[in-house]
Chain A
Amino acid sequence: MIFSLAIYAAPYSSQASDTAYRFATALIANKHQLYRVFFYHDGVHNSSALNTPPQDEINLTLKWEQLSKDHDVDLVVCVAAALKRGVLNELEAKRYDKPTHNLHQNFEISGLGQLIDAAVISNKLITFGN
């Protein structure tokens, strides 16, 4: 089965993105395919390379990156939701004349169409919100 996940909650503020990550690893362990994780609303905060949790706490940004590398999962961050919350890639930082960019590697910025595409392509789309 093909799954996609939609994450609407920031890491560390609520449990939702941690739950989503555990669900993602379980579905892959059960031989299903994870096509895309779409980060929207406060979920965009999962993709900031500047997230620096204490060493003894889970680093969800790195966990998502590893999952993406190991299992060829798209990590897509909604451009409109990301920009207004201060998550930018190099291109957007240049465009808006910002001093730096912080989108973590293996995440990509794209439009809301990617959420709809995930709904169309996948057998199952599951939302994790707070």
Chain B
Amino acid sequence: MSILHTVNKSPFSHTILLSCLQLCGKDDAILLLEDGVLCAIKGSPSIQELSTTIGKGVKVYALAGDVKARGLQDKLHPDIYITDYDGFVKLSIEHQCIQSWY
């Protein structure tokens, strides 16, 4: 049993990524979307905490369209996977419930 977490706010102005990480179990996954993709860039405010969570085995994804729209393709932390809407659907099925952090 595991949870898919979605995060849609910038870590430069919100602390929801940290809230999400507090509850994130090792089998959970995190999908960064909308302004949440700003959490995925190198040097973002909570990147250390995010790396630690990835180290526990949590998979972190960023939504491709939102990354591309914001021009962040070359700025992403190397441990973050890129996915699309089909991937989003798949993730929502692979996990029991979805918690939306907004």
Contact = CB atoms under 8 A, between A and B. Distances in A.
A66 interface: no
B86 A127 contact: no
Nearest to B63: A19
Interface stretch (B42-50, B72-80, B92-100): B92-100
Nearest to B35: A15
B100 A23 contact: no
Contacts of B6: 126
B102 A23 contact: no
Q: Main SS of the interface on chain A?
A: mixed
A16 B89 contact: no
A16 B98 contact: no
B93 A23 contact: no
Interface residues of A, number: 22
Given A15-B34, A19-B33, A124 B88 contact: no
B34 A19 contact: yes
Nearest to B93: A1
Contacts of B65: 22
A126 B100 contact: yes
Contact of B98 (A15, A22, A27, A126): A126
Contacts of A23: 85, 88-89
Interface string A26-50: 1101101000000000000000000
A8 B100 CA distance: 11
A129 B102 contact: yes
B85 A129 contact: no
Given A16-B8, A26-B85, A130-B102, 15 more contacts: A8-B102, A14-B34, A15-B8, A22-B65, A23-B88, A26-B86, A26-B88, A26-B89, A27-B92, A29-B86, A32-B89, A126-B100, A127-B100, A127-B102, A129-B8
